[in-house]
Structure formats: structure tokens, C-alpha cells
Structure 1
Amino acid sequence: MNDLEVRQLRYFVAVAEELHFGGAAERLGMAQPPLSRAIRELERHLGVRLFERTTRHVTLTAAGESFLRDARTALDAVSAAGRRARHAGQGTPRLRLALKADNDGGLLPQILPAYQHEEAAIAVELVLGGRGEQAQALRDGRADVGLLVSPFDERGLDVEPLLTEPRLAALAATDPLAARSCLRLADLAGRRLPDGMPADQGLSAAAFDSTGEPPRTAHRGLVAGSGQVAADLTQVFRLIELGEIVCLLPAWVTRRYAWPEIAYRPVGDLEPATLAVAWPQDMRSAAVAAFVRAAVSVAATAQAGTETPQKAAI
């Protein structure tokens, strides 16, 4: 059997994610008939059916679901190889750090100087992105190391937890729920998160597909029912104040944004937020190892400083 081509994998992943040959063809910038022929040829090549097709629906078979996971991994590896080669060929080496603004647990100002004291330290370049983008940036070669907040897809990554804190519901101060001292997820029924997902579902790893992105059914960044797009955290807070949405935020974010118009309430059955440092499993870099050491050391010192003597003795 001949080796698979990257082109075939890209075609298959596009159809598997769209579950519509017309939508996949438009996404790939090609006509639908040659895409359909390419998928049939791929199925003959593999000797299995990857899709079940009817006049109305396209669904993945069990073989297709298995192949999708491996195809995404292979495409990530190809992208990563090219990006890392280009990055290595630059004149001045840089450590590319993926993170979402405000989701560093307040530790980054301490981690960066601690890292610079490491013998293998090099200049750091911040790769900023939205929620759920950091893991994929590590897999496809856009970043070398990252600070990620749970839940996220750990596929292909090594992970070291740094800090765990509760996640709080951010509500308008005028919201009737703000009168309560503690909530349950069920109390948030009927309210929406910034990405349009129901707030009472909370946040779980199942909310992300294997690319690390929110599911295609979620209107990412679009507030359901309002038609407004929240481009940054300031806008998210404004929409919370207006009662348009609620948000589930790590405690370290709520401490930074203590606004009278917003009430933060604990949610008893909501998983806490864990900040972790992560890097690709196949990464062999002294600079990355040095950053991980610095991050772990700073986090341990910060946690020890916040423990009461009674807790520390337990």
C-alpha cells in the first residue's frame, strides 16, 4: 500500500469536521466533485468506509472516527515540523510562550525573571490567544511551551500542574442570584456563557474537540441572543454588567477585576481551575526545560506563601 498524502488527510479532515461535502469543498477552495472522488479513492486505498452517506446526512463510521484522530495528529506534526524548522532558522532564538491574557494565575511576572536566571534561558516571545487555543498552538508548532487552564485537550502534551483555585460565577450585581452566598450549576439554567454555551453545563474537556477548539455548534465569541461580539475580557465584563451573559472565572481573575457592578459567587459543583505549564511530548529543548523548572519553582513558592500555618502543618 502506498503512503498516504498530506493532501488526502486535509481533504478527509475537512469533510469529517464539516460533515458536509459542499461545506468542506468551500472551506478547501475547490469544487465538490473532485473532493468526493478523492474521498472515495482514500476509502479504496484504506480498504474501509470512512463515511456513511445519505441524501441528507454525512456521518463518520467507527473507522472514520479512529482515522480522524490520527489524521489530525499527523497534520499537526507536519505543520509543527515546518514551523519549528523556520523558527530554528531565525537568527535570534526565542522561546515562544502560549497563553491567554489574564490566565497566568498572577505568576507570569515572577516566572519570567526566574527563568532569565536559568543558564539555558533565551528571549521569550508571547503567543497570545483565546480560550482553548494554547494546546493546539503547542501541537502545531506555533509555540514551544504554554500556560494553560483546565479543561484542555492534553493529547500530545506533557503537563505539569502549577496552581489550583476555585472557579467563580461572574454575575451582574443586579442579578437575583447575586443575593445568594453560594450557587449550584443548576441555578445558572437559562443563562449563557460568552461563547453561547449554556452556563449550567459548566466547563468540561468534552466541550472541546480534539483540535482544542470549542465545538462548531458553539458561536465562539458571540453572545447568544444579543448579536454582540465580545472581543476581549473588558467587553465580556461589560456584557456581564448588563446581564447579557455570565462567566465562570478562576479566582485569580476575579481578584484582578473587583468591580462593584459584578458579583462573584462560588459554585459548589463546579470543577476548580488548574493552571499548568505544558509542552509537546517530543520537545527536547534546554530552554523549555528551564522554563518549566522556573514555573514550578515560582508556583511552589507562591502556594507556600498563601498557606496558613495550620494548613502547612497538615
Structure 2
Amino acid sequence: MTSWVPGITVAVMGRIEVRELEYFLAVADELHFARAAERLGIAPPPLSRAIAQLERRLGTTLFDRTSRRVELTAAGRAFRTEARATLSSLDRAVTRAQQVGCGVLRIATPPGAGSGLLREVVRDYIAHHGRDTVEFVFTREQTAAVREGRADVALVCSAEELTGLDTHHVTTERPVALVAADHPFAEQDAVPASALLHDPAYTADLPALGLDALVDLVATGQLIAVVGDSAVDRTGEHVVAVPVTGLPVIDVLLAWPADSHDPRIAHLVGLSEPA
């Protein structure tokens, strides 16, 4: 049976410096000590010594070296993946620590409709914290923006992958089809989802545009777009929103990192609670 050494990972990591991980990744990317040293702005001998020291600490060889080539070992390939993830996590931790409790609250939201759902909440937040304390990050990859540290909190639908995120229910939206005012669907009280499939202007994958641009495409007969009913008040006189049957309602949520202790997010969530 293999014996277990308590705390060995903590002990090893306690001696590994961020600089050494950066050195290792430079060599792992370049597979050439001289090029890696040039990239890092140091001489090759200190870099070679740092890698050798790292290998001694880990108790394994990370690179196969010959006079002609440098290659990652199996252990090196595994360590490269984890080292890169460690540095990325550290970067996110630093960013979040600098931003928590101060500065602009960045809200990731789909272009157009998302900000409308939070209109009153954001107005209340600004009234409390002052002007220029909220920034919208317009993207259709809201959860990625939060996970990558480009936003603090995101407006998402419940169908998205939300592992590792805490959530708070904001509202429930019902699907509506935006059609040109002179389209036959505009005369109907509701349109079945199956009927949309037969119209050449309908697409399930909306172009990456803001709501105003989508409305322009609909008004000119180039597009039929299914969106949440919060968009109805922004359609104008040339576009009609028709309820769609056969599609589920969508729960809209605020989502943020599960380990976040940001008081700004807590305040935003509190403002979105029903009065």
C-alpha cells in the first residue's frame, strides 16, 4: 500500500513562487530555453536553474532535454494545465479583491433587452451609490464574462449552465414573436412555435445585435425574432409582438460567483427583491 504523506501538497506549494510558474509556462510554450528567456527578459542560465529547482521541489522531471530539442514529459504536460489554471485563478482573485466593495459594478447583459429588465433596480442603485457606479457589459456570453472576471454579476436565463454561480430570481418572461406590422402573424392573438419554422424570415439563432438593430430588421421584413416580453415597450409602431405558444416561459436570474462576498452585489440583489 502506498503511504500518504500529510500536507505534502501544501508544503510543496508553499515553496513554489508565482515567478517559477511563469518561467515554467514560458518554456512549456516555447519548448526552447533561449526563446523563453528572451520572452521573460532574463538570461538562459538563470531560467535553466529555476526550472531545475522547480523539478527538484516537485520530485519529477518536467522536460526532456537534449542538445537539439526540449519536450514536455507526461508530468510536464499535466503540470502545464494546472499551472496555467492556477495563474488564471490568481489573476481573477487579485481583480476581484481590488474591485469588491468599491468601484464600478459591472453587469453582463444581452444587448438591448437585458438592461431594460433592470432599469428600476439600476436607477435605485445609482441613486444610493452615485453616478458612474454601474457599467453594462453587453455580451451574449454573460456567464463567461462573470467567470472570466470581465463582469461582477450577470443577467441570465435559467436554461444556462450555472455551475459555480449563485443566483437570484428577477422575473419570468414569456416568449413573443416580433413581426413587421404588415405581416400576417401580426393579426393573430398568438402564433404557434411550429408555424414560425415555415417562415423564411424566422431564425432561432438571433444575430449578435442590440434590440434596436433587431427591431429595425423586423420592421423591414428581414427577420422574425422571438424574445422575452420585456422587449414589447421598445418595438415602435412598425413592429408587433405576438405571444408564442408551444415555448416555455423563461426565468431570468442574476448570477454571480458562488464564493463572492461583494457587498455591491448583495445590495443590487436586495433592490431586486419584491417590495
The interval holding the TM-score normalised by the smaller chain is 0.5 to 0.7
Letter of the structure 1 residue corresponding to residue 195 of structure 2: D
Identity, % of aligned positions: 25
CA distance in 1, matches of 2:246, 2:116: 25
Change (3 A) 1:245 1:288: same
SS of corresponding position for 1:128: strand
Give the equivalent residue in structure 1 for 2:106.
Answer: 96
Letter of the structure 1 residue corresponding to residue 163 of structure 2: R
Letter of the structure 2 residue corresponding to residue 170 of structure 1: L
Q: TM-score, normalised by structure 2?
A: 0.60
CA distance in 2, matches of 1:252, 1:104: 9
The 5 A counterparts of 1:230-249 are: 231-249=209-227
Give the equivalent residue in structure 1 for 2:256.
Answer: 279
Determine which structure has more spread, i.e. the larger CA radius of gyration.
2
Match of 2:197 among 189, 197, 209: 189
- Is the Cα–Cα contact under 8 Å of residues 149 and 275 in structure 1 kept in the other structure? yes
Q: TM-score, normalised by structure 1?
A: 0.54
CA distance in 2, matches of 1:127, 1:77: 28
- Is the Cα–Cα contact under 8 Å of residues 142 and 154 in structure 2 kept in the other structure? yes
Displacement of 1:101 in angstroms is: 4.2
SS of corresponding position for 2:133: strand
Change (3 A) 1:98 1:192: farther
The 5 A counterparts of 1:8-87 are: 79=88, 81-86=90-95
Q: Which runs of 5+ in 2 are unaligned?
A: 1-8, 14-20, 30-70
Letter of the structure 1 residue corresponding to residue 156 of structure 2: L
Displacement of 1:255 in angstroms is: 1.9
Displacement of 1:267 in angstroms is: 0.9
SS of corresponding position for 1:267: strand
Give the equivalent residue in structure 1 for 2:118.
Answer: 108
- Over the aligned positions, Cα root-mean-square deviation in angstroms equals 4.2
CA distance in 2, matches of 1:129, 1:192: 28
Match of 1:136 among 141, 144, 163: 144
Per-residue deviation, residues 169-192 of structure 1 (Å, max 9, x unmatched): 111223232232211111011446
Q: Which runs of 5+ in 1 are unaligned?
A: 12-36, 47-70, 200-217, 222-229, 302-314
- Is the Cα–Cα contact under 8 Å of residues 97 and 124 in structure 1 kept in the other structure? no
CA distance in 2, matches of 1:76, 1:129: 26
The size of the alignment, in residue pairs, is 211
Give the equivalent residue in structure 2 for 1:304.
Answer: none
Displacement of 1:108 in angstroms is: 3.0
